[in-house]
Chain A
Amino acid sequence: MSPRTPGADLPEHPDSLWRSPEPKRSYDVVIVGGGGHGLATAHYLAKNHGITDVAVLEKGWLAGGNMARNTTIIRSNYLWDESSAIYEHALKLWEGLEEDLGYPILFSQRGVLNLAHTLQDVRDSVRRVEANKLNGIDAEWLEPDEVRKICPVVNTSTDIRYPVLGATYQPRAGIAKHDYVAWGFARRADEAGIDLVQDCEVTGFDTDGNRVTGVRTTRGTISAGTVALCAAGHTSVLTDMLGIPVPVQSHPLQALVSELLEPVHPTVVMSNAVHVYVSQAHKGELVMGAGVDSYNGYGQRGAFHVIERQMAAAVELFPVFARAHLLRTWGGIVDTTPDASPIVGRTPYDNVYLNCGWGTGGFKATPGIGSALAHTIAHDDPHPYVAPFTLDRFVTGALVDEHGAAAVAH
């Protein structure tokens, strides 16, 4: 047999879901950050407001940051009215998203259990359930035997270090396939004529008084009518260029998957106190995450002892996982805020909107923040769903403390 060139027999590259255009020199709206929030904002600008002269600038590849690294949990059981409003808005959009995008996103409403392990956990959880009900969000308090019925693999025996004393349950919560979500949004935005520009890092801003006139990038300067910053963990890098102080701290947050297993885990389980959250992906991997690495970091990786601790927690709660092998670990960069709530809205620059501080829980908000931010940009007025999350709240004191419901320690 004669030698063949390596790769000569490979099938043709499949069609791309979106173009990769050269950026134009000017756009009505420039969105910095081609992750879930940036792409969703672009989609809703086109769909809801007919604004299509839009560029989404991405320094790497589309949806390759936190959108590719999260654990895909979707729920809306937050404590305060402000948070439950936007997360529930997002959940309602998730429920119709596959149809809206015309693209499969494997949205599976398999429910989320938030376990309580101490008396204080129980009190906080019951309070949150009641708050959720008042806000029209499906929520229940479950006793340990009910937890066992919903998720038989959870260890509900009383002889473990932190016994399960009960759980909150949101049946409409669930998971989705994060990559498909990003691709669905990207495809729709691209079809509408929006330019998704990858490999285009923002290096600075041209300003004129209270306005940003141009965005300097590695692919030239692009002038912009309105700029929306959707850069998650890298937000401070951008706001430092603009001289806007923003109270976020970027931390590595790690996650991991096991090898592929038979379906054993029918729902999503989160435990704040023992600290691990677990679901089983459609393909069969157990997907787990835990708390942030303690130090500030932009490295998209963390320390192994954090993984080790979360494994210990997982095996304690799910003894059946003890024989599962760890397949892969990775890290994302999460932008945490002092009150564990996002920062969305105006900045000292008239035509720059900020969207950051979603910390460890931005994925679930993707369609919600996309539509609310698009509305905000289109009307040049913060949508009621984002209005409480101003940068100004750290001065006025109107914080929205969601450390309890955020479920990831930071």
Chain B
Amino acid sequence: MQLIACPWCGPREEVEFSYGGQAHVPYPDDPGALSDEEWAHYVFFRANPKGRFAERWNHSAGCRRWFNAIRDTATYRFERVYRLDDPKPVIP
């Protein structure tokens, strides 16, 4: 089990968190204008990279707040955690 650094609470054990999948997937600006294909992509299709992935986490057994993280899906290492209103960080 690894420690995950909640931006509000600091490092806590992984069991306190729940996973929210890919981050930065905004609700469509004009939902009525979307084609079936565009809807399908909004609802069902998510990136699935091997490597760095911007994703959502919830500190569900702690402060219950959402945050974003950049995590490497091959090593599981968290590289950044950041608030939902922060822009996606650029990691060299």
Contact = CB atoms under 8 A, between A and B. Distances in A.
B1 interface: yes
Contacts of A338: 43-44
Contacts of B36: 395-397
Interface string A7-19: 0000000000000
Contacts, number: 59
B1 A248 contact: no
B76 A297 contact: yes
Contacts of A297: 73-74, 76
A298 B52 CA distance: 11
B4 to A, nearest CB: 10
Interface string B58-91: 0000000000000101111000000000000000
Contact of A298 (B1, B14, B43, B74): B74
Contacts of B18: 294
Interface in B1-39: 1-2, 14-15, 18-19, 21, 36-37
A394 B45 CA distance: 9
A236 interface: yes
Nearest to B48: A236
Per DSSP, chain A at the interface is: loop
A248 B74 contact: no
A295 B48 contact: no
A107 B67 CA distance: 48
Contact of A303 (B1, B40, B48, B71): B1
Contacts of B2: 303
Contacts of A95: none
A316 B40 CA distance: 41
Contact of A394 (B14, B44, B55): B44
B37 A395 contact: yes
B74 A247 contact: no
Contacts of A304: 1
B55 to A, nearest CB: 7
A107 to B, nearest CB: 33
Nearest to B2: A303
24 contacts: A234-B50, A245-B41, A245-B45, A247-B45, A247-B46, A248-B48, A249-B21, A249-B46, A250-B48, A250-B50, A294-B18, A295-B71, A296-B48, A297-B73, A298-B73, A298-B74, A299-B74, A299-B76, A303-B2, A303-B14, A305-B1, A338-B44, A394-B45, A395-B36
